[in-house]
Amino acid sequence: MLLRIVEVMLVFCLVLQTTSRALSFVRGISTSRGRPHHGFRMGALSTGLGSSFIDNNAYYERESDKDVNANLGKEVLLYKDDDLLVYSKPHNVQTAPGYTVTDSLSSRIAQEYNLTALERDQLVVHRLDYATSGVIIYARNVDALSSLHTQFRTKKTFKRYAALVHGIFGGSLEGEISLPLGRDWDNKPLVKVDHSGQGKASLTLWSVVASDPTICVSLLHLRPITGRTHQLRVHLASIGHPILGDFFYAPRPIYEQAGRLCLHAEELRCTHPRTGQPMRFFDPAPFGLNDFNIP
């Protein structure tokens, strides 16, 4: 009897997954027709469904009503020395000042250490999306900034994310997504899969950690080899596995399934800019298969 229930749930999950991919097509998403070896790779399987599940408005109501930087002040200092500051950034916090909102994690750090605006800007090594939480590193001097920028640009760092996504992966439990990404100028600030020749090459490695067919959700580890804006979110949505709580790229039911974007930068490895020693920073994801309705 239990086996029969699991079989029924798997069928239901696959129907939802197929529907999600169909939605991506009917909403005007580009495909990779004629590109048999690009896109989603899982063993011998390859598909290239396009980028966005966006409705007419960029934000759903829950996000537009939310206070910007509502979780600012909840950041946790993971590491500190004369060259580096490493934090666990909460979700819904800006990494650095934006065009309309000047408060951010780097602004608060600048206040704490009495930095000028220029020194504040020189803190920023890399960025996490506003809605993404996890490990983020700041530089405390120009030499450290230059070294870390070079490491990120030449792909000498190691980055790993945890994500809860819609759907169950059949076949192989690991693979890659190779789809070019570009700005969606008609739907700022969105990003889309762009096969026009203007899109930038983008590569994401993924592996399945665990799945629950009863709720049609999988926990993934993700490694962005490139670092494009919204790369993980668009790549996963493009193959029919949008991230739970994603207000830009998930269909509304999947967006509403979680109280936040379930994407977290768990691990960052780099070389210390002064000592040359390998550094590893780890911050476990605050969500899991049985606990993801986090406000």
| pTM summary value | 0.82
82 tagged catalytic: no
Question: If you average pLDDT over residues 225-250, what whole number do you get?
Answer: 96
Strands 76-80, 84-89: pairing kind: antiparallel
Beta-carbon contacts of residue 186 (< 8 Å; ≥ 6 apart): none
Taking only the tens place, the pLDDT of each residue in 145-199 is 999 999 999 999 999 999 999 999 988 899 999 999 999 998 888 999 999 999 9
Q: Is the pLDDT of residue 63 over 90?
A: no
Please report, as a single letter, which amino acid is at residue 238.
Answer: S
Q: How wide is the angle at C-alpha 140 spanned by C-alphas 135 and 141, nearest 5°?
A: 135
d(CA 194, CA 50): 8
Buried b (16+ CB within 10 A) or exposed e, 42-51: beeebbbbbb
Q: Which fold has domain 2-282?
A: Pseudouridine synthase (3.30.2350)
Burial class (CB in 10 A: 0-12, 13-18, 19+), 62: middle
Domain ranges of the chain: 2-282
Query: What pLDDT, in 10s, does the model give residues 86-108?
Result: 999 999 999 998 877 889 999 99
**Burial letters 168-203, b for 16+ CB under 10 A, else e:** bbeeeeebebbbbbbbbeeeeebbbbbbeeebeebe
User: Is residue 232 predicted with pLDDT exceeding 70?
Assistant: yes
Length of the chain: 295
Closest CA to 158 of 201, 124, 205, 123: 205
Using a pLDDT cut of 90, give the percent of the chain over it: 66
What pLDDT, on a 0 to 100 scale, did the predictor assign at position 194?
A: 95
Radius of gyration of the chain (CA): 19
The mean of the pLDDT values for the chain is 82
Catalytic residue among 82, 83, 129, 186: 129
Cβ–Cβ < 8 Å for 148, 156? no
**Residues 159, 128: Cα–Cα separation, whole Å:** 12
Which residue in the block uniquely carries the two structure tokens 């004629």? 34
- Does pLDDT of 59 surpass 80? no
